[in-house]
Structure 1
Amino acid sequence: MSTDIKLHKNDLPDDLQLGNVIAVDGEFMGLNVKRDPLCLIQISSGKNDAHIIQLDRNNYIAPNLKEILENENVTKIFHYGRADLAHIKYYLKAKTKNILDTKIASKLARSYSDNHSLKTLIKEFKNVDISKQFQSSDFGGELTSAQLKYCANDVIFLHEIHSKLEEILIRENRINLYKQCLNFLNTRVELDLALFKDDIWAH
């Protein structure tokens, strides 16, 4: 089944219905939040679709996108949300609420592995070998079809992957620890934005 990929300029359409659980990812010009701007946000409803929002970097006015990110009744699934959430807060001025994170879930659930990349999780749980060729490409200009496909792959599998990881967390009695980590995630983002990058719990 081919993925339904739609590119939206500046914001999500007014009439788009995505449901109460969405997968979210962002693309930036680099990992330094204050230097490297947020370029794209991609969202999937979990129905083999990807809505890619190419943001207006002159003003970052995207009220529909901002509303859904801040809506406590909509669950957002990220993979390594720490970087995405920092860029979203800094550029969109939005505090994302009701967050799940497959990387955190993987580190707690898959203690049998030291690899928690999205590529690895997709291979393990979906038996699909995705290309990460465009992970370090330029997302600041016109997008190629290959870049759009890469962006789509970052969100279309997250619903199912999170469900599989949650099953392991429940089975291994680690689900409450996972929930507590999620409660700290926005604080971790605030620490990043305040330039406290190191582990504050370290000696």
Structure 2
Amino acid sequence: MANFVHEGDLPDGVFAGASIIAIDSETMGLRLGRDPLCVVQLSSGDGDAHVVRLKRPGYDCPNLKALLTDPAILKLFHFGRFDIAMFELHLGVVTAPVYCTKIASKLARTYTDRHGLKDVTRELLGVELSKAQQSSDWGAQTLSADQVAYAASDVLHLHALREKLNVMLEREGRMGLARAAFDYLPHRASLDLAGWEDVDIFAHS
């Protein structure tokens, strides 16, 4: 297992032949429109992670954009709603097709209200994730070794989580609902960007 750091974009062919890529991002904060996208981390499930420090404000990353929009590659997230919105806002692409382990967890693990990545990974995989670097300066010119390790940890377990959650979704008869929710997710992200971030358009009031 190894972590690779890239400046600006993914190298050519780094995920050739992959059909499912786990993806996460790091930003300067959690406000759309205020906080810039800084880092994108990815893994094909082989134990390696690729951490891309994006070049702002131009975001010239054609290989990354091509991967995000490739219809033959499933993009795997945990709380993908935010990452997908960030990619649409800053990279100008709509990410699809997608799978979100947080949505899957909420549909499958109805016995709990703890659906954060750390909680789900602990229960289903027996792995304890550290969140010590979550609030660090992701806009820095150089990423620290601790930041790279943290970024990598957020994508290295998503493939295994998807497998565990799929078993639960199938068992409970909710896989169809999950697929429909995943298909809707890019549209939910677009609604966030259009100003409906805090509004449930399906609510009565």
TM-score > 0.5 by shorter chain: yes
Secondary structure, counterpart of 1:165 in structure 2? helix
The range that moved more, 148-157 or 180-189, is 180-189
Shift of 1:202: 1.6
Shift of 1:116: 0.2
**Unaligned segments of structure 1, at least 5 residues:** none
Shift of 1:124: 1.0
Shift of 1:58: 2.5
Shift of 1:130: 1.2
The range that moved more, 150-159 or 136-145, is 136-145
In structure 2, the partner of 1:73 is 72
Give the structure-1-normalised TM-score: 0.97
2:74 maps to amino acid: T
- Distance in 2 separating the partners of 1:187 and 1:64: 23
Instruction: Kindly indicate whether the alpha-carbon contact (under 8 Å) linking 2:105 and 2:115 is maintained by their aligned counterparts in 1.
Output: yes
Shift of 1:75: 0.7
Do residues 165 (structure 1) and 165 (structure 2) align?
A: yes
Q: Residue deviations 1:111-169, cap 9 Å, x none?
A: 01110000011111221111111111110002111111110010000001011001000
In structure 2, the partner of 1:31 is 30
Give the 5 Å matches for 1:37-186: 37-141=36-140, 142-186=142-186
Aligned residues: 201
- Distance in 2 separating the partners of 1:167 and 1:183: 19
Q: Residue deviations 1:39-68, cap 9 Å, x none?
A: 010000101111001000130010000001
Shift of 1:101: 0.4
Secondary structure, counterpart of 1:30 in structure 2? coil
- Distance in 2 separating the partners of 1:92 and 1:111: 35
Give the structure-2-normalised TM-score: 0.96
Instruction: Kindly indicate whether the alpha-carbon contact (under 8 Å) linking 2:97 and 2:183 is maintained by their aligned counterparts in 1.
Output: no
Over the matched positions of the two proteins, sequence identity in percent amounts to 44
- Distance in 2 separating the partners of 1:117 and 1:185: 18
Shift of 1:17: 2.7
Secondary structure, counterpart of 1:154 in structure 2? helix
Instruction: Kindly indicate whether the alpha-carbon contact (under 8 Å) linking 2:121 and 2:161 is maintained by their aligned counterparts in 1.
Output: yes
In structure 2, the partner of 1:187 is 187
Secondary structure, counterpart of 1:120 in structure 2? helix
Q: Residue deviations 1:53-98, cap 9 Å, x none?
A: 1000130010000001100000110000000000001111111111
1:101 maps to amino acid: C
- Distance in 1 separating the partners of 2:202 and 2:99: 23
- Distance in 2 separating the partners of 1:137 and 1:58: 20
RMSD over aligned Cα atoms? 0.9
- Distance in 2 separating the partners of 1:15 and 1:102: 26
Do residues 14 (structure 1) and 15 (structure 2) align?
A: no
- Distance in 2 separating the partners of 1:181 and 1:86: 16
Structure 1 stretches of 4+ moved >3 Å: none
- Distance in 2 separating the partners of 1:168 and 1:69: 27
1:128 maps to amino acid: V
2:151 maps to amino acid: C
Shift of 1:31: 1.2
Instruction: Kindly indicate whether the alpha-carbon contact (under 8 Å) linking 2:104 and 2:169 is maintained by their aligned counterparts in 1.
Output: yes
